[in-house]
Amino acid sequence: MIELLEYARALSAHRNFARAAKQLGISQPTLTRAIQELEAQLGAKLFDRTRRGVFPTAIGEVVIEGARRVSRCVEDLKKEIRSFEGMERAELKVGVGPLVAQTWMPDAVIAMLAKYPSIEVHVSTYEWWELAPQLLNHHCELVVGEITPDIKRHSEIALHPLPQRPLRFFCRSGHPLTRLKNPTIAQIGAYPMASTKFPLRAAEHFGGTRALGRLAPNGMYFEPQISCQTFDVCLRIIKATDNIGIAPLAQLTRLDLNESFFVIPFDAASLRTNYGVMHLRDRSLSPSAQAFVDQALDMEQAYFEPTQFEHAPASKRRGR
């Protein structure tokens, strides 16, 4: 159909079958048959053949104008594909959970822009249970966040797990917990928490500790007493109160531990991140999305590389 519309445009421009055929690089009989086929498909006469030339009918004028719009759209699409493949001008929409947004995601965007300065990257932060719907509704091409049982049930979602990274409770320097050598979860749970919402698996540690927070009525997540998506907001609250927080160990190493914050010496096998990169299984990643995934994996690894803090003596880690 697109080719036939192009033939009609050429005939309208030249008002002559022979000249239009020459411009198109086809024979006159081929052009004649093409116009006849187009008229048959549309069920309308598109051209009047007169001694003075070939002129579009009223319906033909409408079709020719539509053909011009189609031609412009096709050219724009071709241009977009060429620029897209060359990464000269592409757009990528990524959805992330709060923890990813506040740790290594900015590094991934910076690395992406260093290689492709003209690319448009839109990073949106969602609660972790909102990520799958954003992906399934085509609002994002990629999402990075908590791997939940619900996400695993979506066969249409391709899932690429990231390494599990250690999480730690922390509090302000001078907090009563800093005087305990090996606090139990019951002792930690005596204090309220300021943090993001947690997946249901957090109930293993938090479910029986009333002060930390509570399970949501729908049972989907654990809600701390002070719920906030922004890490800086949590830090200010924790620094000024007896609220405790939780964060990846690598993130805590970037804080002023000796002066302001204290990493609580409590560990458990389930105190780990459980994140992954997700996209729709039946859709090939765009070049920009694939490039972003490559950058993201490198930046995630760089962010969580072992630091001097992890190997420091326990007394130094407690600021003693």
pLDDT at 204: 64
In a domain, 36, yes or no: yes
d(CA 202, CA 221) in angstroms, rounded, equals 8
My answer on whether 144 and 288 are in the same domain is: yes
Q: From CA 297, how far away is CA 162, in angstroms rounded? A: 8
Q: How many CB atoms lie within 10 A of CB 245?
A: 24
Q: Which domain holds residue 28?
A: 2-85
Q: Is 312 within a domain?
A: no
What CATH number is associated with residue 125? 3.40.190.10
Domain endpoint, select from 55, 85, 115: 85
Q: How far apart are CA 156 and CA 277, in angstroms?
A: 14
Structure tokens at 127: 């609660």
Same domain, 172 and 266: yes
Q: 266 and 200 in one domain? A: yes
277-287 mean pLDDT: 84
Q: Is the sign of the CA dihedral 212, 260, 262, 195 positive or negative?
A: positive
281 pLDDT above the threshold of 60: yes
pLDDT at 87 over 80: no
Coil, helix or strand at residue 211: coil
CA distance 209 to 203: 9
Q: Is the pTM of this model over 0.95?
A: no
Residues 39 and 108 in one domain: no
- The count of structural domains within the chain is 3
Give the C-alpha separation, 54 to 23, whole Å: 16
**Same structural domain for residues 199 and 229?**
yes
Question: Does 254 lie in the same domain as 172?
Answer: yes
Q: What is the mean pLDDT of residues 168-183?
A: 93
Q: Are residues 108 and 199 in the same domain?
A: no
Residue 236 included in any domain: yes
DSSP-assigned beta bridge partners for residue 214: 223
How much is the pLDDT for 81?
63
Q: Of 59, 85, 111, which residue is a domain's last?
A: 85
Model pLDDT, residue 317: 40
Tens of pLDDT, residue by residue over 190-211, are 898 898 887 777 666 665 556 6
Q: Residues 209-219: what's their mean pLDDT?
A: 68
In whole angstroms, give the CA distance from residue 213 to residue 196: 11
Identify whether 309 is part of a domain: no
The residue out of 25, 51, 85 marking a domain boundary is 85
Residue 320 counted as domain residue = no
Q: What's the pLDDT tens digit per position in 218-264?
A: 667 778 888 888 888 999 999 999 999 999 999 998 876 667 899 99
Pairing of strands 157-161, 194-195: unpaired
User: What CATH number should be reported for the domain holding residue 70?
Assistant: 1.10.10.10
Given strand 261-263, what is the order of strands in its sheet? 245-248, 167-172, 261-263
Are 109 and 248 in the same domain?
no
- Residue 242 in domain: yes
**Side chain identity at 171, as an amino acid letter?**
C
Q: Clarify whether residues 59 and 190 are in a common domain.
A: no
Tokens matching residue 118 = 């003209």
**Contacts (Cβ under 8 Å, ≥6 apart) of 86:** none
The more confident residue out of 67 and 210 is 67
pLDDT for 167: 92
179 and 251: one domain?
Answer: yes
Q: Is there a domain that residue 317 lies in?
A: no
Contact 103, 303 (CB under 8 A): yes
* Same domain? 46 vs 8: yes
Q: Residue 119: left if φ>0, alpha if ψ -120 to 50, beta else—which one?
A: beta
Q: Let me know if residue 316 belongs to a domain.
A: no
Kindly give the interhelix angle for 2-14 and 58-85, rounded to the nearest 10 degrees: 120
- Band (pLDDT 50/70/90 cuts) for residue 283 is confident
157 and 64 in one domain? Answer: no
